[in-house]
Amino acid sequence: MKKTLRAAALLTAFALAGGLPLTMADGAFSAKPLTVYADESYTYGFTDSFEYKKYSDHIEITSAKSANADSVEIPASIDNLPVTTIGIYAFQFNSMKTLTLPDTLTEIGFYTFGYCKNLTSVTIPDSVRKIGLHAFEECTSLTTINFPDHLVETMDYTFENTPWLEEQRKKDPLVIINGAVIDGRTCEGDVVVPSSVKYVASGAFAKNEKLTSVVFPASVTTIADNTFWYCKNLKSAELKGAETLGFGVFGSCNNLTELKLSGSLKSIDSYTFTDNTASATITFYGSESTWNSVEKPSGDQFLQRAKYIFDENHTEPEEGMKGDANCDNQVDMGDVVLIMQSISNPNKYGENGTDDSHLTAKGRINGDMNGDGLTVGDAQAIQKVLLGVN
């Protein structure tokens, strides 16, 4: 049985606020591992290439014996046990050029491959479910990341300062991979996360000074740690499906004046609104008695200052037609053309474009056929629908 460790959130939030660099070399301040196991007993072992921890049912790689190998291949098993985890800092500052990960791997830990500046590509195995904070940060040659065909949970700054992330941001500042928002820190203005998204990474919008409003769909039920940390110009947030609000979600969001919360909300972390001096109107999509049953800090000043509206009759409008990028209530080649125009000439046809027929926020959501943000692939997918090709 696993539990998420809160120390990592505290460390990350402190670093985001500028109090501590998250990565230090010799004598580093260490964050706790991504997860711990009920059975924490292990023995140390080593091979010709790696050091590891041996648990009763799995192996965790803890470090490489050499930081100078051109190629690193993680074995699928050691001592007849599957290698499921690569631990904190295990390969940080390694000079590897190529990396091969086994199909037994389920988690990549904090800072694991950070500053591997010669690494050019990585394929994430289908078995992986979680990648920790800063895991591939400052991999300044990393241009290609091949993800499995399912949602992978990432965390704060997992791919920070990589060419791959910069390229994804150019395509769409809201970086979505297989239903997971990986990054939104270069988004501007009003952001509507599409209903195809199921997960938003911790810190995904942190320190975004150009974000003014955001809407999360009902499909996102966990609002992870530090999601909007220090978004100092964020004025409005609507979290349609939120069941839990994590550490530092609205920390230092001092212009937050409107907050709309799901009637399914169950808990608010003691530090969700840390260092938040704003006075907001909170609209709760449920009754006052349901709000009173939500687990929340009793002395939180943000919650005490807030004005409350209890909307028991709130219903979500029907979703738009899939593929209808130009919002004319039909799917045709006009949608394909608009998608391509918005990508090739965003200043004219993008969401904030100058043309009267420019893409709208609703059109972007309608046109996102694959749940990974609006891309050329969506235009191709619509064409296939029109041609009757599966």
Q: Can you give the CATH number for the domain in which 18 is found?
A: 3.80.10.10
Same domain, 256 and 211: yes
Let me know: does 237 contact 256? Beta carbons within 8 Å. yes
Cβ count within 10 A of residue 317: 5
- Read off the DSSP letter of residue 17: T
| Phi then psi dihedrals of residue 290, to 5 deg | -65, -40
Same domain, 82 and 210: no
pLDDT tens by residue, 229-258: 999 999 999 999 999 999 999 999 999 999
- Count structural domains, the chain: 3
pLDDT tens by residue, 80-103: 999 999 999 999 999 999 999 999
Same domain, 18 and 145: yes
Let me know: does 197 contact 182? Beta carbons within 8 Å. no
Mean pLDDT of 282-298: 97
> If pLDDT is split at 50, 70 and 90, which confidence band does 314 have?
confident
Residue 323 lies in a domain: no
Residue 237 structure tokens:
């947030």
Mean pLDDT of 344-357: 90
Residue 325 lies in a domain: no
Q: Can you give the CATH number for the domain in which 248 is found?
A: 3.80.10
Same domain, 60 and 137: yes
Same domain, 200 and 110: no
Residue 76 structure tokens:
């699928």
- DSSP-assigned beta bridge partners for residue 23: none
Same domain, 195 and 303: yes
Domain of residue 279 covers 186-316
- pLDDT of 199 strictly over 70: yes
